[in-house]
Structure 1
Amino acid sequence: MKYNSVLFFCLFFVLSMTAQNRSEAIALKDILQTIEKQHLIYFNYIDNEIVELKIIPPKKSLSLNKKISYLEKKTNLFFKNIDNKFITIFSDNRDDTKNICGYVYSKEDNSPLENVNIKFEDGFSTSTNIKGYFELKKEKSTDLLISNIGYTTEKISVSDLQNKNCLKIFIEVEISELNNIIANQLLTSGISKKINGTFEIKPKKLGILPGLIEADVLQTMLQIPGIYSADESISSINVRGGTHDQNLFLWNGIKMYQTGHFFGLISAFNPNLAHTISIIKNGTSAFYGEGVSSVVDISSNTNNFKKNSFSAGINMIDADVYSKFKISKKSFVEISGRKSITDLVKTPTYKEYYNKAFQNTSITNFYNNQNIDYLGDEKFNFYDITAKYSQQIGQKNHFILDFITINDQLKIFQTTNISSQIQSENNILNQKNYGSNLSWMRHWNTKNSSHLNVYTSSYVLNAEKDQIQDNQIVKQKNEVLDNGLKLENSHAINSNFTLKNGYQFNEIATINSDEVNSPIFYRRIKEVLRIHALIVEAKYNDTISKIYFNAGLRLNYIEQFKKKLLEPRLQFNYAITKYFNLEVLGEFKSQNSYQVIDLQNDYFGIEKRRWILANNTTIPIQRSKQASISLFYNKNNWLFTIDNFYKKVTGINSSSQEFQNQLEFVKTNGDYKVLGIEMLVQKKINHFITWLSYTYNTNNYHFPNLEQPVFPNNFKLDHIISWAGIYDRKNLKIALGSKWYSGKPATTPMSSSINYSNFSDPKIDYNTPNNTILDDFFQVNFSTTYKWESLDHIQYKLGFSLLNILNRKNEINEYYRINTVTNSIEDVKTFSLRRTPNLSFRITY
């Protein structure tokens, strides 16, 4: 009996232990994921070979090698360790000695490439996973081909496959694409110069630039030689001496009339959309109208859709979200939104931006800029939203519907007590731009295609000032409604020659209204123009003779004026040698809508410009002609460019040039001429890029009806020098740079005394217009970003920037006014941003 009891106890113990061990066994896949997180390595395996395996996990305290040995014993699988980073798992049945494995990386940034096609000639094929890894059964006699869209096809001989270790394969960007690029990785990765003279920016591939932690569309273009902002505002971008309104801004085919948030300090275009930015300073395609200075064409259209994605980010000014997801096999939706966080927290970045944007306006000069204390309740916010619906119908038709809205709102209530009397103002300023576009693309056959755009754009600038104690309300409003249609047909005659033709129609209406309740005043001016354009363009691109030639002709017809304007365009590029290119560009262009300033304190002096239309008499059509000749040398990671240009713009009105001297209230027509040179020297050494750019130009007005008709342009900067040093390796990016330019022109008074020759209208006696220049501008900027990825493939990115590291007080504008309280001439100066930090964080998956 006792023996039976002992036997029963032992049997029970063994069964219990067996049951306990079985209960501790877990899926091998879960064990591998745990080891990946603990040791920061990756396992490569075929799911079918491990999906049914369950074992007791190894102790966490074991080393990686001991864990692998344990797993080999328990599973009868083979584990191959590669550089202590990747471990390949295979079974005895598969016999890994008869298979090859490898990793495919981009030669440009050493990043792994997913969905690369791997195949033997006339044999088996596979593709890489998200880690760039592949496995394939060996063939005896054929070579291995590695191909991917946008990259060169690599061939590996059979002899190279005898190596038992996994291959490491690096592939380059497709050479056929490079045929259309003469300067790749210009200034930083993601910026290139194309053979047609266009600068192309890919924000998703953009490296880093000094002072930028996000791919701000307009801040990025300011790094290109010949493009600058004389007053440090992206709502006032000057291209080769032109004004901001002389640039044509397009977003997915929609003409945009508002380009900045925070009244000029932040781009109004979300930098996180997967778009391409094309910047054209000269040699514009005939399919672009308007914009006598430049074209900035922003597109978020992509040719393919790989997978759903989502990202969200925040910095010290705004927060944003972005999402792109499939709704069927041939359609997707893309949505983005961005909003300021200023209504929640006033960060140091916001305070510096606020001081810069509103200095010397009626907001900060409350009651004639007197030294009095006042209380203010401010509410400022902005947002932008975009949406896209893309639908592929069959193999030949593609429809895209785009929508964008941009909105800035400022509300400020100010009050003070002067001589026991309360003085109060309530100010409201709204600026918004809505737009939508329907795009249809049709491929009739391999040689013929059509592209149709139908768009509408609406812009409103609305201001209201309520002087409570005087019961006076002042309202100002500027509206633009722009409806357009553009048809483009393309015909490939042969492999070298392409012929395009098309038609464009625009109906533009502007409304300007001013209203005062006491004394009663009301003015409303509405203008409408309808413009038709016929377009023809021929392109010849011969890679053998190394000649690229594109000539276009645009015929504009303006209904209201019954006026025809013929505008030829030219792009020519010749590869003198493999490393040396000659470029010639030329264009004639015209513009019918532009911005003017009636009074410097319009719209509180913040956004004082209003859009108007040409009337072909007192407000002429602006017309430009431009020519340039350039040389490019690119060899051994050295890049030299030199660009000589001539530009003349006629039909400008003095009210569009922001005069704040004796010409402030004068309205006369004239022109300006610019003659200049732009140079760039760049060197790339491994992961380090450094560049130095220099721009020189002469830029003078000619107003024939003035006493002194010729004098310097308000936006003239004689010399501009920029330098940057950029380190970009794997996940870490660092940029340090500086910019220096000679001061803007300014006009000084002849005397410190006020001219009272007319007591009802005292005035300041000035020297000749723009008789002097301001002090030089100098700024040093820094930025850095670091990104990492979790094992579940979620990407994180942290960024930090510091503008104006030296905290230099740069003067960017100066003018004079009469102070009616002190009866003296007051010198008013405007300064650039002081030292301004910014911090950002982004998550993407």
Structure 2
Amino acid sequence: MNKKLLSFIFYFIAIAFCNLAYSQQQKAVQPLTEILQALEKKHHVIFSFETKIIEGISIKPLSKDLSIQQVLAQLNRTTDFNFKMLSDRFIAITPKETDKSQSEIQQLEEVVITNYLTKGISKTNNGTIKADTKAFDILPGLIEPDVLQIVQNLPGIMSVDERISNINVRGGTNDQNLILYEGIRMYQSGHFFGLISAFNPHLSENITVSKNGTSAKYGNAVSSTIAIKNGDKLDNNISAGIGGNMLSVDAFAKIPLSKKTELQLSARRSYTDILVSETYDAYFERIFKDSELNAASQMNTLLAQDERFLFYDFNIKFLYDIDRTSKLRINVMNISNNLNFDQIFTTVDNNFQETKSDLDQMSYGASVTYIKQLHNDTKLSAQIYSSIYDLDAQNNNITQNQLFTQENKVEDFGLRLDVSNTISKDLKFNGGYQFNEVGVTNFEHVTNPNYTSLVKEIIRTHALFGEIEWYSSSRDTYIRLGSRVSYFGKLSEFLIEPRVTLNYKFLDYFRLEAIGELKSQSITQIIDLQQDFFGIEKRRWQLANGKDVPLIKSEQTSLGLSYNQNNLLISVEGYYKGVHHITARSQGFQNQFQFINDIGHYTVKGVDFLIHKRFSDFSTWLSYTYSKNDYNFNEINNSNSFPNSIDLRHAANASLTYNRNNFKIGIGLNWHSGRPFTAPLDMQDNTITTIAYNAPNSSRLSDYFRTDMSAIYKFQASKGIQAEIGASIWNIFNQTNIINRYYTLNTEGDITQIDNRSLKLTPNLSFRLNF
């Protein structure tokens, strides 16, 4: 067995042994979470609360002879929380210092499934999945609460090429997801060109994921919505942390400036331009091995190579509680990837050639939000934001005396006004107005011969939205009905997009969920040429123009049933999604349709299944998704349907985690069926100039299989300082997985098969100090 693999396995076992020796103690108190779980089972009630507010809190065990009313009275006396009966079954838990009217406005959104996969992940009555990174337990392969890695563990969400920036939700492409960070729409979500989340995991506290039935206040994306927020309440205490892993170092701090103001800071920077680790080598090979930057060295003799790669991000959030009824929040952030890549090699005619390449990817964002509580049942909020994304590439080819420059830039300005009115404890109204102006610039310049192209387009969108949320008196039935009305100025197109969510509890432990929505999208990513931006970030954003890039529209419905009792969760959900007016250029074809543009649609039919069981200190789950995702274009393939390029017919995940005191460990297995690809015809002339292909996407790659492992151990470094050490292995058995296959012609006219391989065995270590 590989020595490195053995050493890591020994490391995990050693940590486990030390922890078990450390944890042999009798407890005079019991975690509040365990007490609540026992009460839910005994009295057939459900506690609704934010997971993080009770995380780490322990109290003396309660007497077993108390009624539920006596239990709540005792908990109200002995804890810092209010326990309020909303109905015969539902009990709301809120901090005592929380303003009463705020609690009323938020009470309709209740958690119906806690510990959905692991602690810190829950499901609410409106169908959204929420992840609280502060209460987060552990997921296999993760040693940090990486926002977009967490999301990929949910059934129906994955990335066909392992890039977190290419998340596919129920068969949708990554550019069809709406990713919001503090209300700012993000057009870049990854570092290392997609392998690492661009959002600092130690300041981002709350993640909300909607796979279907998105709130009417969100628009301009036909797949999922992922909203990320930092902490939004004043802590009145200084807290900070510093740490690092085998790629980067980071720090964050929460600093009270006064009783009414607080500053939140976070920063992260890679040291890959100074020090190279085994983790960096694995990531670099994954991204650059089959890129255009490496193509020249494959055809010639490489003499020297020098790459300088770094990424960084920082975020500043200012919190100001003006008074008891009004708040101001200001957020500023920046994300950057930078690559300098130089090569010197000898060409076939024994000449020396040097190439210099630069690739910069940058995002800037800012938002200002004002919230006003008019009285106990009405809240107003206003937000303005700006989001700028800029991707630049420059390649200086000395041999051909040619300079090639490319740029793709998105400038997004937004304004939104929201009003929420709690009509009663069972009925709530949300509504508002949103304006967006989005401009996209695409620039290309080539010397020798001289060629310049500059195209800039702008779309202004106005939208009105409204929805009502209603509970039955028994609180067994929840309904959300809403609609979004949008007008796209440049396209002169007017759309009405209804949304509906129904959640019904029956027989105490069963829930039925029915969800549906219509959505649209005016901005999408396309690929002009596969070698654009060196084939690393070859997708570029482009606005709909009503002609060859139409406005995308979608419809989606789902029906789910779940059983939740005795720490056992079983859920199954069937869904249908149809996405219309997509372009062939947005699908990244690498077959006979690579240079053809056409308008079409894709439809996805699937089933998500999850079984999750918690017992003692262990948690285990199995998820499985079956889906069928097919294209249909107006002209391509004679208008006959064929498999989507990201159609993964079967996908499964099995995981086991263990959490005791300060030690956490998890192992997970990931499998899915092979991705479709188009193979060449068996018989071809050796002097061909183009490749003749079989039917599109009629072949499939071999199945994908990967095993991940991670462990985290926390300990008290000194008074007031908590330390944390973590270790993980991605692809622990070093499985060779092919995630994409395409074909090219070499200089001799022969067909060359190109296989894009997944990450090899990739270790990572982290160490943190929290103050």
Per the normalisation by structure 1, the TM-score is: 0.80
Alignment partners' CA distance in 2, 1:835 and 1:151: 49
Q: Provide the secondary structure at the position in 2 that maps to 1:364.
A: helix
Q: Structure 1, residues 516-544: CA drift from partner, whole Å, max 9, x if none?
A: 01100000110000000011111102351
Partner of 2:651: 720
Say which of 662, 665, 668 aligns to 1:737: 668
Partner of 1:384: 313
Q: Shift of the alpha carbon at 1:423?
A: 1.3
Question: Using a 3 Å threshold, how does the CA distance of structure 1 residues 558 and 149 change in structure 2: closer, same or farther?
Answer: farther
Say which of 104, 128, 133 aligns to 1:198: 128
Q: Shift of the alpha carbon at 1:85?
A: 9.4
Say which of 723, 726, 729 aligns to 1:802: 729
Alignment partners' CA distance in 2, 1:736 and 1:84: 27
The number of residues matched between the two structures is: 701
Partner of 2:758: 832
Partner of 1:535: 465
Partner of 2:346: 417
Contact 1:708–1:768 under 8 Å retained in 2:
no
Question: Using a 3 Å threshold, how does the CA distance of structure 1 residues 131 and 590 change in structure 2: closer, same or farther?
Answer: closer
Kindly indicate whether residue 117 of structure 2 is the aligned counterpart of residue 187 of structure 1: yes
Alignment partners' CA distance in 2, 1:719 and 1:347: 35
Question: Using a 3 Å threshold, how does the CA distance of structure 1 residues 416 and 498 change in structure 2: closer, same or farther?
Answer: same
Partner of 1:503: 433
Q: Shift of the alpha carbon at 1:222?
A: 0.5
Partner of 1:676: 606
Name the amino acid aligned to 2:760: R
Contact 2:232–2:319 under 8 Å retained in 1:
no
Contact 1:106–1:172 under 8 Å retained in 2:
no
Partner of 2:10: none
Q: Shift of the alpha carbon at 1:183?
A: 1.4
Deviates more, 1:746-755 or 1:666-675: 746-755
Alignment partners' CA distance in 1, 2:675 and 2:263: 46
Partner of 1:605: 535
Kindly indicate whether residue 697 of structure 2 is the aligned counterpart of residue 770 of structure 1: yes
Map 1:703-714; keep pairs closer than 5 Å: 703-709=633-639, 710-714=641-645
Contact 1:103–1:131 under 8 Å retained in 2:
no
Structure 1 runs, 4 residues or longer, greater than 6 Å off: 83-86, 130-134, 171-179
Contact 2:236–2:256 under 8 Å retained in 1:
no
Say which of 696, 712, 717 aligns to 1:785: 712
Q: Provide the secondary structure at the position in 2 that maps to 1:618.
A: coil
Question: Using a 3 Å threshold, how does the CA distance of structure 1 residues 789 and 754 change in structure 2: closer, same or farther?
Answer: farther
Say which of 225, 229, 233 aligns to 2:159: 229
Alignment partners' CA distance in 2, 1:335 and 1:512: 33
Name the amino acid aligned to 1:646: Y
Contact 2:84–2:93 under 8 Å retained in 1:
no
Partner of 2:596: 666
Question: Using a 3 Å threshold, how does the CA distance of structure 1 residues 448 and 414 change in structure 2: closer, same or farther?
Answer: same
Q: Structure 1, residues 696-740: CA drift from partner, whole Å, max 9, x if none?
A: 011100002123321000010000010000001110000011010
Alignment partners' CA distance in 2, 1:560 and 1:642: 42
Partner of 2:12: none
Q: Provide the secondary structure at the position in 1 that maps to 2:255.
A: strand
Kindly indicate whether residue 553 of structure 2 is the aligned counterpart of residue 623 of structure 1: yes
Alignment partners' CA distance in 1, 2:74 and 2:464: 53
Name the amino acid aligned to 1:716: D
Q: Shift of the alpha carbon at 1:793?
A: 2.3
Contact 1:748–1:767 under 8 Å retained in 2:
yes
Alignment partners' CA distance in 2, 1:755 and 1:539: 66
Q: Shift of the alpha carbon at 1:182?
A: 1.9
Alignment partners' CA distance in 2, 1:196 and 1:346: 46
Map 1:494-573; keep pairs closer than 5 Å: 494-542=424-472, 544-573=474-503
Partner of 2:4: none
Question: Using a 3 Å threshold, how does the CA distance of structure 1 residues 345 and 151 change in structure 2: closer, same or farther?
Answer: farther
Partner of 1:244: 174
Partner of 2:48: none
Q: Shift of the alpha carbon at 1:492?
A: 1.4
Q: Shift of the alpha carbon at 1:513?
A: 0.6
Question: Using a 3 Å threshold, how does the CA distance of structure 1 residues 133 and 811 change in structure 2: closer, same or farther?
Answer: closer
Alignment partners' CA distance in 2, 1:542 and 1:153: 18
Q: Shift of the alpha carbon at 1:402?
A: 0.2
Deviates more, 1:431-440 or 1:743-752: 743-752
Contact 1:751–1:765 under 8 Å retained in 2:
no
Contact 1:275–1:302 under 8 Å retained in 2:
no
Deviates more, 1:175-184 or 1:253-262: 175-184
Kindly indicate whether residue 282 of structure 2 is the aligned counterpart of residue 356 of structure 1: no
Name the amino acid aligned to 2:245: N
Partner of 1:107: 33
Kindly indicate whether residue 525 of structure 2 is the aligned counterpart of residue 595 of structure 1: yes
Q: Provide the secondary structure at the position in 1 that maps to 2:637.
A: coil
Alignment partners' CA distance in 1, 2:721 and 2:674: 47
Kindly indicate whether residue 266 of structure 2 is the aligned counterpart of residue 336 of structure 1: yes
Q: Provide the secondary structure at the position in 1 that maps to 2:166.
A: coil
Alignment partners' CA distance in 2, 1:639 and 1:246: 30
Larger RCO (alpha carbons 8 Å, 6+ apart): 2
Q: Structure 1, residues 566-616: CA drift from partner, whole Å, max 9, x if none?
A: 000011101112211000110000000010000000000000000000011
Q: Structure 1, residues 405-440: CA drift from partner, whole Å, max 9, x if none?
A: 000000011111223311111000000110000001
Alignment partners' CA distance in 1, 2:323 and 2:138: 40
Say which of 320, 324, 333 aligns to 2:250: 320
Name the amino acid aligned to 2:671: W
Partner of 2:19: none
Alignment partners' CA distance in 2, 1:233 and 1:545: 41
Q: Shift of the alpha carbon at 1:640?
A: 0.3
Q: Structure 1, residues 440-495: CA drift from partner, whole Å, max 9, x if none?
A: 10000001111111000000000000012322100000000000011110111111
Q: Shift of the alpha carbon at 1:818?
A: 0.2
Alignment partners' CA distance in 1, 2:468 and 2:326: 24
Question: Using a 3 Å threshold, how does the CA distance of structure 1 residues 306 and 651 change in structure 2: closer, same or farther?
Answer: same
Alignment partners' CA distance in 1, 2:587 and 2:359: 23
Say which of 370, 373, 397 aligns to 1:443: 373
Partner of 2:64: none
Alignment partners' CA distance in 2, 1:420 and 1:144: 82
Partner of 1:35: none
Partner of 1:843: 769
Alignment partners' CA distance in 1, 2:79 and 2:411: 45
Q: Shift of the alpha carbon at 1:132?
A: 6.9
Kindly indicate whether residue 680 of structure 2 is the aligned counterpart of residue 753 of structure 1: no
Name the amino acid aligned to 1:197: G
Question: Using a 3 Å threshold, how does the CA distance of structure 1 residues 357 and 149 change in structure 2: closer, same or farther?
Answer: farther
Deviates more, 1:743-752 or 1:480-489: 743-752
Kindly indicate whether residue 155 of structure 2 is the aligned counterpart of residue 217 of structure 1: no
Contact 1:252–1:301 under 8 Å retained in 2:
no
Partner of 1:302: 232
Question: Using a 3 Å threshold, how does the CA distance of structure 1 residues 147 and 283 change in structure 2: closer, same or farther?
Answer: farther
Name the amino acid aligned to 1:562: S
Alignment partners' CA distance in 1, 2:734 and 2:75: 58
Q: Structure 1, residues 655-683: CA drift from partner, whole Å, max 9, x if none?
A: 11111000111110100000000000011
Contact 1:262–1:408 under 8 Å retained in 2:
yes
Q: Shift of the alpha carbon at 1:546?
A: 1.1
Q: Shift of the alpha carbon at 1:178?
A: 10
Q: Between the two proteins, what is the percent identity of the paired residues? A: 39
Alignment partners' CA distance in 2, 1:172 and 1:683: 25
Q: Shift of the alpha carbon at 1:104?
A: 7.5
Contact 1:621–1:651 under 8 Å retained in 2:
yes
Contact 2:108–2:469 under 8 Å retained in 1:
no
Alignment partners' CA distance in 1, 2:92 and 2:30: 11
Alignment partners' CA distance in 2, 1:493 and 1:712: 48
Alignment partners' CA distance in 1, 2:203 and 2:473: 33
Partner of 1:492: 422
Q: Structure 1, residues 308-329: CA drift from partner, whole Å, max 9, x if none?
A: 1010010001100000110010
Question: Using a 3 Å threshold, how does the CA distance of structure 1 residues 147 and 574 change in structure 2: closer, same or farther?
Answer: farther
Alignment partners' CA distance in 2, 1:192 and 1:754: 58
